[in-house]
A = this chain, B = another copy of it.
């Protein structure tokens, strides 16, 4: 049986490097070196860099999703409260010491061709996020729920993006205030 901890170790180091430096900027040799692993061990667990990257994206998806949803749930309360909690959780994410921006925004930006597997994976994940917010909106009984869902989702992406670009330090707080006005106005 393959030593699973080695595979985990490689994937953990690779994820960190992909997040920090980008995918194209991170070579297999660096992953090998920082994982303290032989090159053949990496290629034993991942048939190619492509597969390593796809594993990274999948893992990133699962981890972020779990963290995000459970953080929102933990704050609980009414559907409206949970909807607003989204922005509180965003704010927490932004100030985490290891915040490196959204991996999917960065990956989709680096590989912006519609048909590229990395773009497709990133797109898929963002579809989930959009639908997750839409499902929270559905529980709120508002007018124009589709438009509201779309807007709140764009506020999320906008907050992430402006925080990444370092053009809006108060992104999460302001997005929350705006969301509150919009929800209230359509209730």
Contacts and interface: CB of A to CB of B under 8 A. Distances in A.
Interface stretch (A52-60, A77-85, A106-114): A106-114
Nearest to A148: B178
A40 interface: no
A159 B164 contact: no
Contact of A174 (B24, B151, B159, B161): B151
B158 A155 contact: yes
Interface stretch (A5-13, A42-50, A122-130): A122-130
Report the copy number of this chain in the oligomer: 2
Contact of A165 (B22, B126, B158, B162): B126
Contacts of A24: 22, 24-25, 110
The winner among A109, A123, A126 for most chain B CB atoms within 10 A is: A109
Nearest to A131: B167
A20 B109 CA distance: 10
What is the predominant secondary structure among interface residues of chain A facing chain B?
helix
A154 interface: yes
A112 B153 contact: no
A150 B130 contact: no
Interface in A101-123: 101, 104-106, 108-114, 122-123
The winner among A25, A101, A104, A157 for most chain B CB atoms within 10 A is: A157
- Identify the 6 closest CB pairs spanning chains A and B, nearest first: A158-B158, A154-B158, A109-B109, A151-B178, A106-B109, A150-B174
29 contacts: A22-B24, A22-B110, A22-B111, A22-B112, A101-B109, A104-B165, A105-B105, A105-B165, A106-B109, A109-B109, A109-B164, A114-B166, A123-B166, A126-B167, A130-B167, A147-B177, A150-B170, A151-B174, A151-B175, A153-B162, A154-B158, A154-B162, A154-B174, A155-B178, A157-B162, A157-B165, A161-B161, A181-B182, A181-B185
